[in-house]
Amino acid sequence: METIIVIKIGGNIIDDKNALAEFLSDFAAIKAPKMLIHGGGKLATQLSKELNIEPQLIDGRRITDEKTIDIVTMVYAGLINKKIVAQLQANDTNAIGLTGADANIIEAHKRIHPSIDFGFVGDIDSVNADFLLELISKNKTPIIAPITHDKKGNLLNTNADTMAAAIAVELSKVKKVSFFYCFEKDGLLKDVNNNESIISKLTIAEIEQLKEKQIINAGMLPKTANIIHALENGVEKVILCHAKNVRSIVNENAKFGTTFTKN
């Protein structure tokens, strides 16, 4: 059974035209069946500013109001998603851009919170792995934007890291999955100021130890929560690495980044 490669890229790559082009050329060269989940980057915030749409905050938490869901739908599902698809097509990868609403691949509900109405923010209920696998079996490469829907007609802004983990988990029920979190560093660092101090391997138990020692802290906590969730729910391994290393890790089994396994 061939392993499916699920890759999440974040805003730092999306905001840098050259880095994105380089990554997409690498991604196209990955031989295994694959899919990409992309974040949003700074473009949506920039567009909101240009349109004089003020960010809505309640108790310091960001709200996705009606104007904002329109903006993120335009930027994530329109501009970013379709530019990635067109660039991959130019690289002979038969990419197909999707949101959670398309073919109902990801159903979600508006976030439920005791005191804050987050607006059009989605928490995921279900992932339709069948359709994604069908696309992959026909040599199509899904490119997924961080927008879901509630099956009531509303589009919902959804965290791309969480979405990627949910997709990896669902696929892992029928296929082997290697799940890549690409970020701006070379891996998880023992010493945040020393880019050479990469931890090459970690189990869930070891993650917990590093959290206690606060080597894993603030910014990394949501990501490690997603990583643990993925590993506990069937994903074989999660690799946290720089986008520039994904291709050689997959194609040449090169050793870069931090590899997380359950045990």
Q: CB 13 → its own copies: shortest distance, Å?
A: 17
- What residues numbered 30-69 form the site for its own copies, per CB under 8 A? 50-51
Tokens found for residue 189: 């660092």
> Of 79, 189, 204, 210, which one interacts with its own copies (CB under 8 A)?
79
Q: How far is CA 258 from the centre of its chain?
A: 17
Contact region for its own copies (CB under 8 A) — 7-15, 58-66, 149-157, 184-192?
149-157
The nearer residue to its own copies, 76 or 179, going by C-beta atoms, is 76
Tokens found for residue 79: 């501009």
Q: CB 72 → its own copies: shortest distance, Å?
A: 9
Tell me: does residue 75 bind its own copies (CB under 8 A): yes
Across the strands, what pairs with 147? 157
CA distance linking residue 253 with residue 217, whole number of Å: 29
> Of 16, 29, 83, 206, which one interacts with its own copies (CB under 8 A)?
83
Tokens found for residue 76: 């994530």
Q: CB 78 → its own copies: shortest distance, Å?
A: 2
Tell me: does residue 18 bind its own copies (CB under 8 A): no
H or E element, residue 82: helix 81-90
Interaction pattern, residues 104-143, with its own copies; x per rule: CB under 8 A:
x-----------------------------x---x-x---
Which residue carries 């990583």 as its tokens? Answer: 227
CA distance linking residue 39 with residue 45, whole number of Å: 13
What are φ and ψ of residue 23, in 5° steps?
A: -60, -45
H or E element, residue 6: strand 4-9
Tell me: does residue 74 bind its own copies (CB under 8 A): yes
Q: Could you tell me which residues come within 8 angstroms of residue 91 by beta carbon, excluding any fewer than 6 positions away?
A: 24, 25, 28
> Of 39, 41, 97, 187, which one interacts with its own copies (CB under 8 A)?
97
Q: CB 67 → its own copies: shortest distance, Å?
A: 11
Tell me: does residue 184 bind its own copies (CB under 8 A): no
